[in-house]
Structure 1
Amino acid sequence: MLSRMIGFLLDNANPSIKLRVRSEILHDITPEEEAQYREQILREPIVQRIIACQQENGWLGDGFHGTSANAGQFENQETGTKYLAEKAVGKDTPVLRRAMEAFATVPLDDPCYRTRGRIFDEFRLAANGQNLIRCACISRAGYDDVIDISPQIELSLDSFKRVLEVDSILDISRPINRGRNLVFNDGERWPCRYHLDMLAHTQSWKSDENIKMIADSTMKLMRTDRPELIGLVPLSWVGYALGTLGAFPSQGFSIKTSTILPSPVANATRKPDLYNLEYIEWFAGCGVVPHVPALHEAVCEIADAVSNDGVCRIPVADDIFKGWGPYAGLRLEVDWRSKVRRDCDITFRALLILHYSNVVA
């Protein structure tokens, strides 16, 4: 099955996908072939837009965490670096290298971070802080061996571990506004999408014990036996209530896209339920799929959706692929104006999931 998927992608896909299949899965690419693919990738319009918006200090565009009046969808540091990394432009390609140098040299209270000079300390605020975003970008780009993010990797592990140490999120939060809202207590830990992103794209933390811990934590987050905890996500308190960076709920965590991003909580107003391949890919990268029944079931359904011609026909929510930003972004094809391009993007993500999950032959 995997060979059929690989054959389809090598015949039809974008240079980024072909390069990643050859380098990450087949491990059969030559330096000359890699250079040829990257030359094609760097000529693509979106990549050229990102290159053109790079400032003198290496910062991409005029924004950080998402779009703004001064920053387009891709012309900002977070989305730009993640897109370049996913497109496999190359770790030493000047645009990505200079963006990483900006992360290494621009202080966290610089206006580039768009926090009005405030530093939101990720060790004081559960599931929050601009440095958490920064470190997730660094890990996605493969620069964790150049820029030290080991304290944030440890924080990510501790955040998942905290789920198992407490009865529920109520133990580490407090009410405000006469009980209308909850906020995390100072100095607490709780996992969010940026912690998961960081762990999925690094290797130094991986041990059987840590993988099993993340699996156990994830299963506890997925439980639905206490209705008062389903979808319960406190805010951060920074002198006022501030939304977290996609903190996971105390219960009801979902790998379905029947959610309103960035919340990973099922929402009845959005149908149908479709798998969020981004989260499943990250969990596969963490090595936890064999230990979590819901993830194992999802991977088996993805495998069953692969046709005889190697195309994965699992239904997906288009915006999870096309909506590049802080809380989504999987499409590597230049557009989805043709069905084959859409098929290539979905099949590639399915291939990565099946390859890294190790549960489907």
Structure 2
Amino acid sequence: MDLLVENGSQTTFRLPGNNLSALSTESQPNKGFLSYQRLQGNPEAKLEALKSLQKEFPTPTLNLFTALEEKRLLKIPEDLSAKTAARNQFFSGINLNEKGIKLMPNMYQVLYKYTTILPINNENYKANADVLLKGQNCDSENFIFYINWIFKNLEYYSQNNLNASFKYVFNKYLNDEKCIKANKTFYDQSVIKLNSLEAVPIGTVMPELEMQDFNNKTFTLSEIYAKSKYTFLMFFNPDCIHCQQQAPKVAEYFNTLKKNGVNIQTITFLNTDNQTDWRKFTDQYFKNGWLNLKSKDNNLDYLDQLQSYSNPNFFLLDQKGKVLLKSFSEQQINKLILENSVK
């Protein structure tokens, strides 16, 4: 359930029991907003109900939420030229640098709708970025919010070979002295991601890796991926907070895939020369059905080769070692597996 919050407002809510859908209030406009969210059925009818509520209570938050919902539910034409026009005019009437926009729960869906109006390719994605970022710079209120979303979205669509789009946005909008000084940490992280994308592009064969397990038994990556239809690698550091957050999700997802009969080998790769907590980490999340490995003799040459300096890093390979995906996305992995099973 979403709540409308305005500066200086005071609203009391009541929740009998632990079922959030039973949340209630006597304070408008939240009383009407909760009722709107419970509506079922036709999205257009639901939008009309929201617009009626917004006309009755035109608060800044409800005004912005309603405007974004109209964009989210916008009907996209079939004709290609009409699609291009729809993309170019998509954000008309929206102040893209309104402070509250990045707090809106429907903003990510709006951005997703926007980027999928036209086919996902480098030409369209560069134009998408130019329309979204037109007139903005690193002083703009939501500039980094949009750049960050673009980079994450490009990573999500990495199987579409959009490295050129990533490099284009990076160089045109972020790679200048003023932006670097203003957003040094974000800039450095983006450089690492760009280098990683360019190091082993989608569709190329993964470089050979020599690895060993806790008992110093040696493995080569090519020997492993040749035995399974798919191989998934997770590069990690036990001290990495993001690795700790992702580990249970990754383990649960791939364990379920295997139970469902998908022919996939899974590997964790210690991405640091510090072996403290290596076994503790893998025993907690990846004890059964996973190969838990590190670089043979702690040779770190692979770091430059793969540009895998950040953690976690992911690779999905086919039986010939070709890189299919460089992220952990359940939706994209499911799609790839389904497409290959049809073939």
Find the structure with the greater CA-based Rg.
2
The TM-score, its normalising length taken from structure 2, stands at: 0.29
Of structures 1 and 2, the one with the larger relative CO (CA 8 A, separation 6+) is 1
Is the strand fraction higher in 1 or 2? 2
